[in-house]
Structure 1
């Protein structure tokens, strides 16, 4: 089992219910194929750096999960079939990235913060 981080950019015309349904669809897909969800972080509606399919905003969602190495190809096929997905990116996380993300979620200082002078 490898650790991955998935960033999904969805079309901005989705309702809140549709967005939650899309999240559930893909988290269930990960679990059904032998993976486990570590963390789900919906970022919400953000501006895009450049237009995608004539859209200047999109809904962002970040998912951290563990899955077998052959799983990502199945997931990629599902994303390419879905009209709601504008872009996606899967990143392999090493043990240091997993530890960093866990510390960040708990609010533990990671050493990258700048000192604030009083």
Structure 2
């Protein structure tokens, strides 16, 4: 099992319920194909660095998960098929990235407790 991190941007013309439906869909793709979600974050509506498909904002989502390499291919195929996703990036985490992610999650949870 490898550790992966994926970030995807959803088009801003959707309602909050539709945006959450898109996020749930891709989390379901991960779990249905033998992956386990380690962490998920919704970064909300943010400005894009440059216009994509004449849009200047998008809803950002981060999902950290573990799984086999074939899961990434399946996930990215689903991203390409869904017209609501305007950009995505998935990469394999090395041991240093996994360690950093754990520290970042611990730091965020400490801030939320305060």
Question: Shared fold (TM-score greater than 0.5)?
Answer: yes
Equivalent position of 2:58 in the other structure:
58
Equivalences for 1:5-84 in 2 at 5 Å? 5-84=5-84
Partner SS for 1:50: strand
How many residue pairs match? The answer is 108
Equivalent position of 1:115 in the other structure:
none
Please report how far the alpha carbon of residue 23 of structure 1 lies from its aligned counterpart in structure 2 after TM superposition.
1.2
Structure number with greater Rg is 1
- For structure 2, list consecutive stretches of 5 or more residues without a partner in the other structure: 109-114
Please report how far the alpha carbon of residue 103 of structure 1 lies from its aligned counterpart in structure 2 after TM superposition.
1.0
TM-score by length of 2: 0.91
Equivalent position of 1:92 in the other structure:
92
Instruction: Please provide the CA RMSD for this pair.
Output: 1.1
Q: Please list every run of at least 4 consecutive aligned residues from structure 1 whose deviation after the TM superposition is greater than 3 angstroms.
A: none
- For structure 1, list consecutive stretches of 5 or more residues without a partner in the other structure: 109-118
Paired with 2:20 and 2:10, the residues of 1 have a C-alpha distance of 11
Equivalent position of 2:104 in the other structure:
104
